[in-house]
Structure 1
Amino acid sequence: MANTTRRIVVSGATGKQGGALISSLLSTPSQPFEIYALTRNKTSKSAIALSSKPNVFVIEGNFDNPSAVFRQVDKPWGFFSVTNPMNAKKEEAQGKAMTKAAVDAGVKHIVFTATDRGKNSDEDATPVPHFASKFEIEKDIVEKSKLNGGTWTFLRPVAFYENLSNDFLGKGFISMWRLNGNQNKLKLISTKDIGKVAAEAFLKADQAQYKNKAIALAGDEISLDEAAKVFKEETGSTIPETFSFVGKGLKFALHEQLGIMFNWFKTDGFGVDAKQCKETYPFLKDFRAWLRTESAWKK
């Protein structure tokens, strides 16, 4: 490898964001990275598939022992951080610990997937716990990066298309959306598209567009009625959902993870302009394109 090669650690490497990031980098001619793909299980089918790719090295570890992750990489330059939102307090603690381990190891550029928090994303953590945890991780990355002269890029996506899955939780998601009203518009994005933007954030880390910048991302803004119409046109079926009382039950049972968030969708909502995003990143998929190419209903 040339002396200009930079080493990056990719968390969630076998997931959709991390996987799309790695694929995007590998498809870039003369990409300047050695990619250290972090996985919990090096012997999994997806991890083994990754290890067969050029310039990809699979490492085993998790966010509970971050220093052990970075001990496996000599002089890492970059780190892609994507955290688990199911427990906001744990997410914040683990995210901050991984940042510390990355900075202590000498990482110079961190790309972190946070979330769009409406019109005041830079100042308002919002009442949504797993939005607030990412807000705190963002601030921590800024402070810790100053310690070694490092830089950062924050990706702030909206809700994921992948929440519309053909299973119980996917049907529940639609039912909770309907509780906000059939005309309530929701902004959505493909997780794979987030990974593609992350690749650009590493490839162009020194450019003004990405250096110490937060980038809000959305692929579409659509009401439930509009989504149901598109779904019918593309699949020939009605959009899958469950009873309204199940949606209410999910909001109650998973109040911290889902209830507060769906209430916020109705009262505040994401602030990013989906049309402007697509002007900057034409590859961002709208709902119809996602259904056709990535969803469980793709043909």
Structure 2
Amino acid sequence: MGRTILITGATGQQGGATLRSLVEHNKSTSNPINLLALTRNATSDKAKPLSSLPNVKVIQGDLTKKDEIEKIFEDEKIDSVFSIQDNFQGNEVEQGTNLTEVAIKYNVKHFVYTGVDLAGQNPSLVPHFETKRQIEEHLIKNSSRIASQILISQGEKEEFKNQIINLSGDSHTVSEIIDTFKQVKQVDLVQDENVDIVPYLTIALATINGHGWEVNPESTQRLFPFVKDLKGWLETEFNPDFAAGGFGTMSNN
């Protein structure tokens, strides 16, 4: 019988992508992984389709309710956890630390937490960076009790055990990004200094400008060759409708 992995945020971008990747992995193995997709609402429009995926069981649970999460671990005999939390609920640290503590209590063998690169900031001035830093700090303090790895976004080999791994598909200056958009999508990016953005994002961008992220695309490619660089992402996944609603304007030649 295959091992069991709990994936939090299963209806979100990172949790959903992780779930889909493991579903694909199961197609090529004779010992498929049992996948538990954790969501706050198992009857939501996003959650319902997940139950039709092979070897996927949708589980409803609230990470702020520790006893509820313990019941899931008691019933399901979980081997591994993919941990990501929703910052917009306002209780991200509680969610993350609850999950870590329950995983330790039930002797989970493998724990992956996904956060952000803090560029050496302790504490971070960006609220949704700081919450992730606190969760990461809690996990590190308990890392001797669990085989953990922290995936900083942007297999279970021994080299991953108790490691913080910065993921980066590419590294560019702003001018290089503009040139790549022009080359791949024939799009001119136009800077708009008067763009109206929410205050917390202003703080985040100012912090990033002052504390550059510590990235190593070559290391990422060695460990995870499927990670795309900017050019590859533009060619396969870029959504112009989404981007046009962001922080600048675009025009086709």
TM superposition score normalised by structure 1: 0.70
Are 2:178 and 1:228 aligned? yes
Alignment of 1:1-299 (within 5 A): 2=1, 5-28=2-25, 29-30=28-29, 32-72=32-72, 73-86=75-88, 90-118=91-119, 120=120, 124-144=122-142, 146=144, 149-158=145-154, 200=155, 204=156, 207-239=157-189, 243-247=192-196, 250=197, 253-255=198-200, 258-297=201-240
3-state SS of paired residue (1:13): coil
Greater relative contact order, per chain length (Cα 8 Å cut-off, separation 6+): 1
CA distance in 2: counterparts of 1:70 and 1:33, whole angstroms: 21
CA distance in 1: counterparts of 2:46 and 2:163, whole angstroms: 32
Mapped contact 1:108–1:145 kept (Cα < 8 A): no
Per the alignment, residue 189 of structure 1 pairs with none
TM superposition score normalised by structure 2: 0.81
| Number of aligned residue pairs | 236
3-state SS of paired residue (2:188): coil
Q: Over aligned residue pairs, what C-alpha RMSD do you find? A: 2.5
Deviation at 1:74, TM superposition (A): 2.1
Per the alignment, residue 245 of structure 2 pairs with none
Mapped contact 2:41–2:47 kept (Cα < 8 A): yes
- AA at the equivalent of 2:195: V
Q: Flag the 1:115–1:270 CA change in 2: closer, same or farther, 3 A.
A: same
CA distance in 2: counterparts of 1:7 and 1:261, whole angstroms: 37
Q: Which runs of 5+ in 1 are unaligned?
A: 159-199
Q: Which runs of 5+ in 2 are unaligned?
A: 242-253
CA distance in 1: counterparts of 2:222 and 2:143, whole angstroms: 30
Deviation at 1:80, TM superposition (A): 1.0
Per the alignment, residue 248 of structure 2 pairs with none
Q: Which runs of 4+ in 1 moved over 4 A?
A: none
Deviation at 1:240, TM superposition (A): 6.9
CA distance in 1: counterparts of 2:76 and 2:225, whole angstroms: 36
3-state SS of paired residue (2:47): helix
Deviation at 1:264, TM superposition (A): 2.0
Give the % identical residues: 32
Mapped contact 1:153–1:213 kept (Cα < 8 A): yes
**More displaced stretch, 9-18 vs 97-106:** 97-106
